[in-house]
Chains A and B, each alone.
Chain A
Amino acid sequence: MSSELSARARPAQVVFYNDPKFRSIAYQLVLCAVVAFLVYGAASNAIENLARSHIASGFGFWKETAGFDISQTLIQYSPRASTYGRAFWVGLLNTLLVAGLGIIFATILGFGVGISRLSRNWLLAKVAGGYVETIRNLPLLLQLLFWYNAVLKALPDIRESIVIPGGAFLNNRGFFLPLPVSKSGFGAVEIALLAGILGAVAFYVWARKRQERTGQQAPVLWVALALVFGLPLVVFALAGFPLGFEFPQAGRFNITGGIEVLPEFLALLFGLSIYTAAFIAEVVRAGILAVSRGQSEAAYSLGLRPGPTLRLVVIPQAMRVIIPPLTSQYLNLTKNSSLAVAIGYPDLVQVFTGTVLNQTGQAVEVVAITMLVYLVISLVTSLLMNIYNSRMALAER
């Protein structure tokens, strides 16, 4: 009796190829072998092909002279003296500039349109809805080309520039603005601005503490605005308006002086902002709708007015839902800025993967570096987003 049981108690012998663990390892080994084989094959082909076309390898090109001009440079750059490496940084800064400004404009516009879609005013809601539906269903490239070719390039040329009061010119070569030049005494205004910001923060902290102690509320927003904007303005006036402008001078064939904003930059900025704003509007709308109506009803029935209800109850909850997809849209905007290559704005892709790649022929290195830059931006943002999400998760049982 017991021997039968013990015989049955021993685990059955499994044929090795049916053992799931063996299979799993076998599959993985096969997969790795296939991938390794493909990588090896690709690499050896690449080496062979590159050698045949006499294209260099390695990153030596970084220190070579660029020899081409870039139409917008935020840092010092000269075609004869600067290196390809320098060109990389110029392109990267241009990308960050247009992406940064685009994010700001898209956010403002997107929040406005998103909130408008939920408005009680039927007309406003429908117009906002129409904007979102139309923009989201048209390719970004089409919108960029439209802005660049049909709008900005259709502006009059230099001699018939549109004159904007205040000393600015608008024509098909760009937007020419007066360049602010700080005169002596402007330092005081800068200090005043800093003082205003610090003062606003200090006032906010003081007001909060006082509210906790005595329950009295203070008009924090107005005081902060007054400090941040008013104080510098007052100092500015007292110091005798220490700000000069270098006005663009319209010559016969050219405009000299002032700030020149390229039409390529403007087209990319408009296109990216308007396009991404439509997506942000949907994110904002979904976030606000995610907060159930019962929340504001509970707040109203406690006696809270709509303003504080929004501020203390609805928006904090809505932001939890809004921020993850919002950062995803910011990332999309940054990646979409690479479409600059279609209209000639000198962003990272246009300068580096365009001109530099053409001149050096080192496709693998150039494309790899470009992709690495975007990858780093994406991964860092994802990481920060994950940290934010885990910290903001509502505590549950």
Chain B
Amino acid sequence: MLDRISAVMVKEVRQLARDRLTFAMIVGIPLMQMLLFGYAINFDVRDLRAAVVDEAGTSLSRAIVADLQASGIVAILAPSAGVADLRRRMSAGEISVGVYIPPDFERRVLDGTRPAAQLLVDGSEPMVDSVAKGVAAIPLPRRAGLYGTPAPVFEVRPEYNPERRTAVQIVPALIGMILNMTMVIFTSAAIVRERERGNLELLITTPIRSGELMAGKLLPYVGIGLVQTTLVLFVGSLLFDVPVNGSYLDLYLAAALFIASTLTLGLVISTFARTQFQAFQLAFFTMLPSILLSGFMFPFDGMPEAAQWLAQVLPLTHFNDMVRGIVLRGAPITDLGTQVAKLAAFLVAGLAIATLRFRKSLD
């Protein structure tokens, strides 16, 4: 039995090594996604292009512009002559934030009942709005002779990711995303390909058992998944300075469990799909909810209840929990028993479905 499993494994690895495109994807997908998510998708928006119309021209108005500049959220370009010019520049896409300080700025500040200045925001850009709110919350600078400007009561001090860098949150979760994507596609395609090319018809007439065939086909991918995990961690620490606070052993154990569950998902897909293209479509179909609902991009708590339930049956949700716990909070895997149990349940259920559906016949 072991000899037959290892025969299938050797064959798979050989074929994989010769399939240059797939081989390139094993390395290419993690690298591409790392760079894409690490650099491009950045939730903390910085250096929004802004322009100022300062019709007050007082020391206070100049001070508030300087504070804005210093916050790093906006990068202030050449000043505009008036509100009309601000609107024109925004419509041309030159700036996304316009600051208008009216001539009676100081009086408005002292008055306290009317807004002192206006912030024009380009609502067509998704992240800008929330950023603008942040800008609006900047308190007036304390100056001698000024009163009535409350300083913030609480000092905000985020834990685990003190600089609030998106990369630190994104990169660990990317391990799960990348594994989810590659494992499901590669395994389902690897099995369906043999059906498509007629290899399976021959294999069925040999003494090999379905369990042996499955094991031999899936085991190489566990190794590939762990290589991808290593790649993401390495690039994450090299380019984005993402620390691993927990134990590497725990992290790899969690990854292996997650890989096994995604492999069974690929296996289940392969029992439904007749062609590689169908397998790819089905894999993509399962991937989208994983990306959107697993808490990878959007906070889990903000989702409607139905979406939260759906997210519970996605292995990526639980793996993201685990990997953030281990990598960022330094939690030992023993603290993550619930997630381990949920992933294990997914694995068992997937194997049961696949075994029931994969029979050694062409019917």
Please determine whether chains A and B interact with each other in the same assembly. no
Q: Which B residues have a C-beta under 8 Å from some C-beta of A? A: none
- Please report A residues at the B interface, Cβ cutoff 8 Å: none
